[in-house]
Chain A
Amino acid sequence: IAGITQAPTSQILAAGRRMTLRCTQDMRHNAMYWYRQDLGLGLRLIHYSNTAGTTGKGEVPDGYSVSRANTDDFPLTLASAVPSQTSVYFCASSPGQGGQETQYFGPGTRLLVL
């Protein structure tokens, strides 16, 4: 593994189903983030984690949950998917959350909810 990986690459999901998007990084970064990207809008923060064992809500957290049991993994769960959650989801990480800390992005998961 080099950098950040996400799985699955893409998914078609029936509304009402539960889905977990996986994110793993091997850079030993403390901070991790989940964003969604929709056409015409900027990246919007869903949830974040400044360090293992802690999580926080971003701009659009409703309908999503996260956990951070260890440094490397930061899964995002949709408890009951709705069509408005159709989007491209990016996981990112950074060494910390201050100063010049750059965020590094995974390749994304393209989710279609029908």
Chain B
Amino acid sequence: GQNIDQPTEMTATEGAIVQINCTYQTSGFNGLFWYQQHAGEAPTFLSYNVLDGLEEKGRFSSFLSRSKGYSYLLLKELQMKDSASYLCAVRDSNYQLIWGAGTKLIIKP
């Protein structure tokens, strides 16, 4: 079967750095996405990786290792507004997105 694993919840301090991990087992791989979802709102796109390595976008970076079935999202200089759930999704061989359950990130002052 297809499976995406992420930690359920993480806590970090304002101004710090946090890494959210995602491991996957899917039928085929056509890219990995990270989305942010604030409570009661819709998911919004953060990043996309299809090749191994690090993609940096401002305070957010995303890393992919296809051989290990592993990705992480790195958030730097954390702000209170970063409190949200972070969803990892993999596009499978049918070009459909398979979603993890999300990681709820709690930022403390």
Q: Mark A84-114, 1 if CB is under 8 A from B, else 0.
A: 0000001000000111101111111000000
Q: Please pick, from B43, B50, B96, the residue contacting A100 in the complex, using a CB distance under 8 A.
A: B50
Cβ of A83 under 8 Å from chain B: no
Say which one of A16-24, A38-46, A64-72, A73-81 lies at the interface with B. A38-46
Q: Please pick, from B31, B44, B96, the residue contacting A105 in the complex, using a CB distance under 8 A.
A: B44
Tally of chain A residues near chain B (CB < 8 A): 21
Tally of chain B residues near chain A (CB < 8 A): 21
Q: Say yes or no: A90 contacts B101, CB within 8 Å.
A: no
Residues of B within 8 A of A45 (CB): 96-97
Q: Say yes or no: A107 contacts B43, CB within 8 Å.
A: no
Residues of B within 8 A of A34 (CB): none
Q: How far is the CA of A52 from the CA of B100 in the complex (A)?
A: 29
Residues of A within 8 A of B45 (CB): 102-104
Residues of A within 8 A of B87 (CB): 42-43
Whether A100 contacts B4 in the complex (CB less than 8 A), given A58-B96, A105-B43, comes out as no
Sorted nearest first, the 4 A-B pairs with minimum C-beta distance are: A42-B99, A105-B42, A43-B99, A42-B101
| Seed contacts A100-B31, A102-B45; 10 additional CB < 8 Å A-B pairs | A35-B99, A42-B98, A43-B43, A43-B87, A44-B99, A48-B96, A90-B43, A97-B95, A100-B50, A108-B42
B residues touching A (Cβ–Cβ < 8 Å)?
4, 30-31, 33, 41-45, 48, 50, 87, 89, 95-102
A-B pairs with beta carbons under 8 Å apart, 11 shown: A35-B99, A41-B101, A90-B43, A99-B30, A100-B48, A100-B50, A102-B33, A103-B45, A105-B42, A107-B41, A108-B42
